[in-house]
Amino acid sequence: MRNITIIDVAKEAGVSIATVSRVLNDNYTVSTELKTKVNDAISKLNYFPNSIARSLKNESTLTIGLIVSDISNAFFTTLARSVEDVLRHNDYNIIVCSTDNKKEIELAYLHLLMEKKVDGIILNTTGENSEFIASLSHSIPIALCGRKVNDLSFKGDFVDSDNSNGSYELTRHLIAMGHKKIGIINGQQYVSSGSERMDGFCKAMQTINIRVDADYPYVYNGDFNRIESGYQGAEYLLNLPDPPTSIVAMNTEMAIGTLRYCKEHNVAIPNDVSIGSYGDIVNADLFYVQPSYVTMSPLAIGKRLAELIIERIESRDEVTNREIRFATQLVAGNGVKKI
């Protein structure tokens, strides 16, 4: 069956090709009667406009790329849904890419999205392609999610939770419950979220005159995208000669890994060790053990990212760089014991 064209629609409606084009693009005044004829013909013939040809003419594909480190992570799944809701209501489509936090995959997706001529990119970067991304930001609108680009020439926006303060409040909560030997399972220190959460932890420990330096025994740096990092971190910390009385896992994936280790090795929470999480674990209210946590607001972050990228696109990338931080909120659970 051959493709239906704009010529077929014009013949069916008994109007000119120019009239059909005006109705499709909605860029000229067309009478209600003619619009009805054209739309009826489109419906009858099941005609779909050639979006590629239209994008070449309009220099826009009405498509946004969303690149995240791990789409299976509940935070990014929720964020992607929020981004999609805003984009859909503004007539934009979305292409979702998941890099597995690998430099080469991120680079390949960035090239792919450029080939697809997307109008803008929302990016949760691996932190290892900063120079390329900074250069790219002068050619296409970019909004960064959760991780900054370590290059001062970057042009674009940045949205995240208040990492340092959230980590500080979570650690202070454990301190208020009497804990001093507090272990931290953190992610990569070369990404902004990792360094900022460590900064908040250190500041909180300083309030009880404990300095977190190279000699502090209760630090495990792993991978934000690996549940196994939480498992391995818990194994390391809880098998020290003098183990911590509590652990803060600096994202939900690592918190899940920590809980899994404790379950498999009969470590009672909170009697044997107290647990805190940066970010709420999905369906944690159904668990027997509910770690204390600070909120990360993926819905609000996703919504704002989508709004910012649309504003940047429609202003032809003429807005200044913007940084937005969402405040965290501490939610106390039964996974922390007062000692």
**212 φ, ψ to 5°?**
-95, 100
For residue 284, name the pLDDT band (cuts at 50, 70, 90).
low
CB-count exposure of residue 26 (10 Å: 0-12, 13-18, 19+): exposed
pLDDT digits (tens, 9 = 90+) for 200-255: 999 999 999 999 999 999 999 999 888 999 999 999 999 999 999 999 999 999 99
SS3 for 258?
A: helix
Gyration radius (Cα) of the chain, Å: 25
| pLDDT at 225 (0 to 100) | 85
Q: Where exactly does CATH 1.10.260.40 map onto the chain?
A: 6-49
According to the model, what pLDDT value does residue 101 have? 92
pLDDT band at 315 (very low <50, low <70, confident <90, very high): confident
State both tokens at 324: 């937005």
Structure tokens at 149: 């680009």
Helices within the chain (DSSP H only): 6-13, 17-25, 32-45, 51-58, 74-89, 103-115, 130-136, 163-176, 192-206, 227-238, 252-264, 298-314
For 48-67, the pLDDT digits (tens) are 766 555 555 556 788 999 99
Distance CA 237, CA 220 (A): 8
The CATH number of domain 59-161+298-326, selected from 3.40.50.2000, 3.40.50.620, 3.40.50.2300, 3.40.50.980? 3.40.50.2300
Q: Model's pTM, two decimal places?
A: 0.79
pLDDT tens digits along 132-156 = 999 999 999 999 999 999 899 999 9
d(CA 339, CA 325): 34
What pLDDT is stored for residue 335 in this prediction? Answer: 93
**Reported CATH class of domain 163-296:** alpha beta
The percentage of the chain sitting over the pLDDT mark of 70, rounded to a whole number, equals 94
Q: Where in the chain is the domain with CATH 3.40.50.2300?
A: 59-161+298-326, 163-296
96, two tokens: 């979702």
What integer pLDDT is reported at residue 285 of this predicted model? 64
Q: What is the CATH number of domain 6-49?
A: 1.10.260.40
The phi, psi pair for 117, rounded to 5°, reads: 55, 45
User: What is residue 281's predicted lDDT score, i.e. its pLDDT?
Assistant: 84
